Amino acid sequence: MSALINESMFRYLYNEMSAEEKSDFMSILENDPASMEQFNELREGMECLSCISYSPNENSVNKIMEYTSLDGPTIE
């Protein structure tokens, strides 16, 4: 599979293609079952990841805040 196809998959998924590019890209995928399978796997993965949200642990935030409040070397 070419790097161009891989890049195009991400451009399509992130809506970075014009309507004409999208149409051309989908035509290419329809004629290449292996690429279409990879594209579908990437799309499903992105859909799963978009449902996940992360928040830092309160203890971690406190440690960072504590560290940043320490007096460090000064630059004059």
Residue 1 above 60 pLDDT? no
25: left (phi over 0), alpha (psi -120 to 50) or beta: alpha
Q: Determine the pLDDT at residue 56.
A: 85
Q: Which amino acid is at 15?
A: N
Compute how many other C-beta atoms are within 10 angstroms of the C-beta atom of residue 64: 11
Mean pLDDT of 57-68: 89
Tokens coding 10: 């991400």
pLDDT bracket for residue 4 (50, 70, 90)? confident
**CB-based contact 35:5 (threshold 8 Å):** yes
Q: Determine the pLDDT at residue 43.
A: 94
**pTM of structure:** 0.62
The domain spans of the chain are 3-68
